[in-house]
């Protein structure tokens, strides 16, 4: 790089890192290890969150690399996800996966400077472009080692890191506050629905009596899950929804499976505008979720793990029923109604479901309640969208800080600093003078 600041040097990651040790933990079967795999690294905070523990005899085959304080762990799988972290003191001497490159800083590079460099977008983009594989894209340790690094004098590295820490500390606090907003949004929506159920959103507040859900519907139907061949000869235009199409309040029609041409559809369970859908079977977290269908889907059918409610529109607004089914009061009652042996396979029976109590408001009151809920939700969703945009801006700001830092524009240079080339020269000379490891031959058998 011809435009590199004075005293800086271009090097490779291999130039500024030293070797680490690999072991076979099964040779010490009773020793307890803590293990950092890719799942242990939080790629939002870039910290190690929850390392696993095991004895040597139970160690997974990839648990081989010994880590120490100040190492940068760089996941070589899907590098664009930025599973990168510094090793804290409490994990020194423990293990990481062979799918993680261990970057141990030499005397030429500050540990935090190395971590910041490999976390920067240009470095990530350079390595991501070198990934091999479609289902499991990854780079090799050699790819990481041969990637370049702009190396300032060591004292300047430390000044850069201190400045980065000062600036990103402020953005980290802002990011932490913004990360709380999705939970606050959900709580606020639940508070709105709670108030709606109580009658607090009516023009004239009143406590309504409860009527069974059966009073509000014309029909309740269960769907169909056809058994399709693993390799159908062809597909037609008909489809059956997946339960994942049913989200709280919202219907996602793209979540469906198409029927093979040799299966005759059952048009009696098609999904139309105004239908209310409720999941009836599955894992605990996926049972009793209700949504409203806003448009006709003439060739899309209900699956057997869901109910379709056709609302009696002389009694209720479908949107009102949907919101009521999603109120904390109704969800609490529905939770008690779920039956089954384990959380992975629960069921909501039709008899219990239609006995659920729904507030009996007049149609004009229902319309007013729906209007107020939707107005509040629009405002809340706008707040959430603004928070998401702000978080992205903070992430861009952090990357802008790194970009300035690695151009030598973040802190002043000091002519008295020993240039990086001097340290690199010493390291390369020491490595050249070091005796080569001898490779033994296997004895003939």
162 in a domain, yes or no? no
SS3 137: coil
Cβ neighbours of 207 (radius 10 Å) = 10
Q: Tokens 């190492």, residue?
A: 71
Taking only the tens place, the pLDDT of each residue in 101-111 is 999 999 899 99
Query: How sure is the predictor about 134, in pLDDT bands with cuts at 50, 70 and 90?
Result: low
Q: How far apart are CA 22 and CA 31, in angstroms?
A: 16
Residue that terminates a domain, selected from 329, 360, 391: 360
Residue count of the chain, please give it: 445
188 in a domain, yes or no? no
Residues 241, 147, single domain; the answer is no
Q: How many distinct helices (H) and strands (E) make up the chain?
A: 10, 24
Residues 147, 214, single domain; the answer is no
Residues 103, 222, single domain; the answer is no
Structure token digits, residue 299: 């060739």
Picking from 41, 29, 166, the residue whose alpha carbon sits closest to that of residue 99 is 41
What is the pLDDT at residue 4? 86
To the nearest whole number, what is the mean pLDDT of the chain?
Answer: 89
Query: How sure is the predictor about 230, in pLDDT bands with cuts at 50, 70 and 90?
Result: low
200 in a domain, yes or no? no
Residue that terminates a domain, selected from 335, 360, 385: 360
Q: Which residue has the higher pLDDT, 427 or 329?
A: 329
365 in a domain, yes or no? no
Residues 30, 139, single domain; the answer is yes
Residues 320, 429, single domain; the answer is no
Cα dist from 285 to 74, 190, 279, 280, 288, whole Å: 34, 17, 10, 11, 8
What is the helix (H) or strand (E) element at residue 259, kind and residue range?
Answer: strand 256-260
Residues 262, 131, single domain; the answer is no
**Range with the poorest average pLDDT among 153-157, 183-187, 251-255, 318-322:** 251-255
CATH number of domain containing 250: 3.90.220.20
390 in a domain, yes or no? no
- Indicate whether 309 pLDDT > 70: yes
Positive or negative torsion for Cα 385, 185, 344, 266:
negative
Q: How far apart are CA 318 and CA 8, in angstroms?
A: 68
Residues 347, 222, single domain; the answer is yes
Cα 341–346–352 angle (5° rounding)? 110
Taking only the tens place, the pLDDT of each residue in 174-188 is 878 888 888 888 899
Residues 219, 335, single domain; the answer is yes
The domain of 287 spans 209-360
SS3 297: strand
Residues 238, 109, single domain; the answer is no
371 in a domain, yes or no? no
Q: How far apart are CA 357 and CA 332, in angstroms?
A: 11
Residues 216, 345, single domain; the answer is yes
Q: How far apart are CA 90 and CA 88, in angstroms?
A: 6
Please report which residue ranges of 298-410 form alpha helices under DSSP H: 318-325, 328-337, 350-354, 363-405
Whether residue 177 contacts residue 117, with contact meaning beta carbons closer than 8 Å, is answered with no
Into how many domains does the chain fold?
2
Taking only the tens place, the pLDDT of each residue in 190-216 is 999 999 999 999 888 888 899 999 999
Taking only the tens place, the pLDDT of each residue in 135-148 is 678 999 999 999 99
Residues 215, 324, single domain; the answer is yes
Residues 144, 222, single domain; the answer is no
311 in a domain, yes or no? yes
pTM value > 0.75: no
22 in a domain, yes or no? yes
């Amino acid at each position: 790089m011809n435009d590199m600041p004075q005293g800086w040097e271009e090097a490779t990651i291999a130039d500024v890192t030293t070797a680490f040790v690999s072991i076979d933990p099964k040779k010490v079967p009773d020793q307890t290890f803590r293990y950092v795999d890719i799942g242990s690294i939080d790629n939002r905070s870039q910290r190690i969150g929850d390392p696993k523990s095991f004895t040597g005899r139970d160690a997974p085959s990839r648990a081989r690399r010994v880590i120490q304080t100040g190492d940068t762990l760089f996941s070589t799988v899907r590098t664009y996800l930025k599973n990168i972290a510094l090793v804290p003191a409490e994990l020194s001497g423990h293990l990481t996966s062979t799918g993680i490159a261990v970057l141990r800083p030499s005397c030429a590079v500050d540990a935090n400077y190395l971590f910041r460099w490999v976390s920067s977008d240009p470095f990530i983009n350079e390595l991501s472009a070198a990934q091999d594989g479609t289902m499991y894209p990854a780079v090799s340790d050699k790819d990481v080692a041969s990637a370049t690094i702009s190396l300032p004098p060591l004292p300047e590295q430390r000044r850069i890191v201190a400045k980065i820490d000062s600036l990103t500390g402020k953005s980290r606090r802002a990011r932490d506050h913004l990360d709380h907003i999705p939970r606050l949004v959900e709580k606020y929506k639940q508070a709105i629905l709670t108030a709606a159920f109580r009658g607090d959103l009516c023009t004239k507040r009143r406590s309504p009596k409860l009527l069974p859900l059966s009073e509000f519907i014309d029909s309740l139907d269960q769907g169909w899950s056809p058994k399709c061949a693993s390799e159908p000869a062809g597909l037609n235009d008909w489809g059956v929804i997946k339960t994942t199409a049913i989200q709280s309040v919202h219907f996602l029609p793209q979540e469906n499976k198409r029927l093979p041409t040799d299966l005759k559809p059952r048009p009696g369970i098609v999904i139309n505008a105004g239908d209310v859908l409720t999941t009836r079977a599955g894992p605990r977290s996926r049972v009793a979720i209700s949504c409203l269908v806003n448009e006709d889907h003439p060739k899309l059918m209900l699956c057997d793990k869901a109910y379709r409610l056709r609302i009696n529109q002389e009694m209720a607004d479908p949107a009102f029923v949907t919101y009521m089914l999603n109120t904390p009061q109704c969800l609490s009652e529905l939770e008690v109604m779920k039956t089954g042996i384990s959380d992975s396979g629960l069921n909501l029976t039709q008899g219990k479901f239609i006995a659920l109590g729904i507030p009996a408001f007049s149609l004009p009151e229902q319309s007013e309640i729906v209007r107020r809920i939707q107005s509040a939700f629009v405002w809340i969703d706008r707040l959430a969208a603004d928070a998401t945009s702000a978080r992205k801006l903070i992430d861009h700001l952090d990357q802008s800080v790194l970009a300035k830092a690695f151009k030598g524009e973040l802190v002043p240079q000091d002519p008295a600093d020993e240039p990086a080339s001097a340290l690199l020269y010493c390291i390369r000379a020491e490595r050249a003078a070091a005796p080569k490891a001898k490779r033994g031959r296997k004895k003939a058998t």
